[in-house]
Amino acid sequence: MTASNDVSKIKSEIRRQIWERMIREKVALPPFPIEGRIPNFKGADRAAKRLVEDKLFQEAEVVFCSPDSPQRHVREAVLRSGKILVMATPRLREGFIVLDPRKIEEKVFHEAATIKGAFKYGRLVTLDLPVIDLKVTGSVAVSRDGGRVGKGGGFSDLEFAILKTIGVIVDETPVVTTVHDLQFVEAIPMLKHDVPLDALYTPEKKIYTTRKLKKPEGIYWDLIPIKKFEEIPLLKILRDKNLNR
């Protein structure tokens, strides 16, 4: 068994434990089942409020936020704060969506913060993205040293890699998440393509991590399965541009 497979096995067990814990403690919210998802949770709105009140959010003009359920409160707050919102389309199949609150009526901000609403009110883009000041991701589990476990698809890490490759995100760009306090674990093994977190926001607290791990340099092409190039056209575009340099 390779080191990568060892890490994958450990992360799978962490996910199972967190999903079971959240159901057992009755803090999970729809959509159900939460298994296989970034779990929505009671207090997600308060966790988002803690992020919104923080300087990392206040100083940002362009915020990238995952399309996951518990981060909907963050996405709506981005629009209500007059900031540009960038979202990934589900599984990155159609690239990204950019939402400019100056071009959206305030009365539909709540709808625009949903996946369906983002498609309706936003603009689909591939490479034509603004420079991102803050990246907000969804998480299944986190650790205080910046470790993160997602739902297992690797899309958040791939988003960062793509954004870094096209030059709209840098090492210093904060990467943060909102989670329930029950989603903390002692330690999470991280590989070179995994993106560590700079700050964590829960319904009860704000934590700046003790991150020591470096963020990925960009897309590690040798780690991308062949089928991903068919599933995510943007990857194929970037690979071809890379080969033609």
Dihedral of CA 135/115/223/221: which sign?
negative
- Segment 12-38 shows an average pLDDT of 98
Whether residue 1 is predicted with pLDDT greater than 50 in this model: the reply is no
What phi, psi does 135 have (nearest 5°)?
-115, 125
Please give the CATH topology (third level) of the domain spanning 3-243: Rossmann fold (3.40.50)
Query: How many angstroms separate the CA atoms of 207 and 144, rounded?
Result: 8
Extents of the domains making up the chain:
3-243
pLDDT in the model for residue 5: 82
pLDDT in the model for residue 245: 52
- Segment 26-47 shows an average pLDDT of 98
- Segment 197-213 shows an average pLDDT of 97
What is this structure's pTM? Answer: 0.95
pLDDT in the model for residue 244: 55
The per-residue pLDDT for range 76-112, each reduced to its tens digit, is 999 999 999 999 999 999 999 999 999 999 999 999 9
Which residue would you say has higher pLDDT here, 5 or 189?
189
pLDDT in the model for residue 241: 82
Whether residue 18 is predicted with pLDDT greater than 60 in this model: the reply is yes
What phi, psi does 136 have (nearest 5°)?
-110, 125
The per-residue pLDDT for range 145-204, each reduced to its tens digit, is 999 999 998 999 999 999 999 999 999 999 999 999 999 999 999 999 999 999 999 999
What phi, psi does 176 have (nearest 5°)?
-135, 170
What is the identity of the amino acid at 11? K
- pLDDT confidence band for 140 (50 / 70 / 90): very high
Mean pLDDT of the chain: 95
- Tokens 């359920």 identify what position? 69
